[in-house]
Amino acid sequence: MVKYTITSRFQATEAFRDHPHTGVDLAMPEGTALKAIVEGVIRTADYGSSSTGKTVFIDAADGRTYIYGHLKDFSVSDGQSAHVGDILGHSGNTGHSTGPHLHFGIKEHGEFIDPTPYTSLIQRMDQLKGAAHATVNSGLDALEMLNQALSQFTQTLSEMTLNCISLLLENRTVSLISDIVLSWLC
């Protein structure tokens, strides 16, 4: 489902640009919460009325820098760790802009690369946090993890019960208690 229309593509050479476009522009209402699509460390910049205006950069472990431009405001600060689904700020119309939108770009080894394959993540950014946390611990989903934990708890509880019974049986002075416990369990 396309939630945000791409209004300018990577390397586009529109009449109002003095160089090819370094990202993609996605039309969205001003104030739309913009969320991290990757984990990384935050940098922010405010270019005023030029370039991408208020901009958030996520320096990710994959060596790429993910760029969110023309923001209305920041919800993060320099040096902060970003996690998938964290709100970075809100879409706006800052910098050199013709209307409210998100400029989304990616740099790899200092060069801009086509971010188009990642726009599906921007389209689904409201759903990413749940998806990122539903699959953890070597690919197990939350229900499988709960079932494993309950199974392990049950096994441990059974072993503890058997150990208690063994201790009671070893102690001849509490044979009456052990007889009661054994009759109760059997």
CATH code where residue 129 lies: 2.70.70.10
Question: Where is pLDDT greater, at 60 or 184?
Answer: 60
Letter for the amino acid at 164? C
Residues 118 and 176 in one domain: no
Range of the domain at 158: 140-185
Residues 105 and 24 in one domain: yes
Residues 39 and 127 in one domain: yes
- Average pLDDT value for residue range 111-130: 83
Residue 117 has what pLDDT? 87
What are the contacts of 48-51 at 24+ separation with CB within 8 A?
A: 48/95, 49/94, 49/95, 49/96, 50/95, 50/96, 51/95, 51/96
Ranking 15-19, 42-46, 60-64 by mean pLDDT, the lowest is 15-19
Asked if residue 145 has pLDDT above 70, the reply is no
Residues 131 and 144 in one domain: no
Task: Please name every residue paired with 97 in a beta bridge, in sequence order, or none if there are none.
Answer: none
Residues 111 and 155 in one domain: no
Task: Please name every residue paired with 100 in a beta bridge, in sequence order, or none if there are none.
Answer: none
Residue 140 has what pLDDT? 44
Question: How far is the C-alpha of 45 from the C-alpha of 78, rounded, in Å?
Answer: 9
Residues 167 and 88 in one domain: no
In a domain, 32, yes or no: yes
Question: Where is pLDDT greater, at 76 or 175?
Answer: 76
Residue positions counted in the chain: 186
Q: Report phi then psi at 8, rounded to 5.
A: -150, 130
Question: Where is pLDDT greater, at 40 or 16?
Answer: 40
Residues 73 and 42 in one domain: yes
In a domain, 1, yes or no: no
Q: pLDDT band for position 30 (50/70/90)?
A: very high
Residue 34 near residue 91, CB atoms below 8 Å: yes
pTM over 0.85: no
- Average pLDDT value for residue range 15-39: 84
In a domain, 60, yes or no: yes
Asked if residue 136 has pLDDT above 50, the reply is no
Residues 82 and 122 in one domain: yes
In a domain, 33, yes or no: yes
Number of domains in the chain: 2
